[in-house]
Every structure is written in C-alpha cells, then in structure tokens.
Amino acid sequence: MSKRFFYVSLGVLALAIAWHLGARSARGDWDTSGLGSIGGVQGPIWWAHSGEAYRLEAGGSWTRDSGYDLPSMTGQVELTGEYPQGIAVATSTDEVFLHTASGWFRAQPFPGSGTATEKTSWGGFKKQFKQ
C-alpha cells in the first residue's frame, strides 16, 4: 500500500513540476505589437489596433481596405459601432472618429474624458507673465 502511495505522490509531483516549467516558458502566438491583434469590427470591416482596415471576404480570406484606414491617432482602436450616418471608432486615448460618405473626421472629445495638455514648468509659467 505504501508503495502505491509513493508512486501516486511521485506522479503528482512530476505533473506539478512539468506544469510549472511549461507555464513559465509558454508564450502565445498572438503578436500585439504589429497588425496581429483585432481592435474592432463593423460589418465586414475589421480594424487592427494600429488603425489599418481589412475586409473579411465571403470565403474567409482577408483583403486590405485602405479606404477605411483611420487617420493618424494617438491610441489603439478599442471600440467600434454604428451611428445613423456611418461608422464610429473609439481609441484607447478617448479619440472618436466618425466615417461618413465623405470619409473620416475626428469628433469632439467625449464629455468627461481626458483633456490634452502641454507639459509646462513653474518657471515657464512665471516667465509668461513677466513679459
């Protein structure tokens, strides 16, 4: 009986060590630094976090659709949706872009979101008023 207990314990220990070593060295294949991760989707148009647009074709293949590429943005695509005139895309830095028949335009900042500021020092602030 003690021999069986020893073998079962040894097996559990071996599994724990194998799991520990595997968990430490395992990595996913998903590349979030490039175009690999999906930021949003609206109908057949899918956006990478970088803002580049791709169209999902009926056969399951992808085609680049630069007509839906987002203009230059400071964040990553986080949310997409529809509004009556077209498509809306929000970024991780609270930028909102709207796509209509005439193309993309940036919407006003969302109420309550962060406000872009300039970095300044106390000396620079005092200098403005001394002049």
Predicted pLDDT of residue 2: 85
Which pLDDT score, from 0 to 100, does residue 100 have?
Answer: 83
- At residue 17, the pLDDT reads 84
Where in the chain are the domains?
38-106
Output the pLDDT for position 67.
84
The single-letter DSSP state of residue 1 is -
Strand-pair partners of 30: none
Calculate ∠ Cα 25-26-27, nearest 5°: 115
Low-confidence ranges of the chain (pLDDT < 50): 29-30, 32
pLDDT at 101: 82
Determine the distance from the C-alpha atom of residue 120 to the mean position of all C-alpha atoms in its chain, rounded to a whole number.
30
| Chain Cα centroid distance, residue 71 | 16
Structure tokens at 93: 């830095």
Within 8 A by CB and 6+ apart from 42, the residues are 80, 81, 82, 87, 89
Size (the chain), residues: 131
The enclosing H or E element of 96 equals: strand 96-100
What pLDDT score does 25 carry? 54
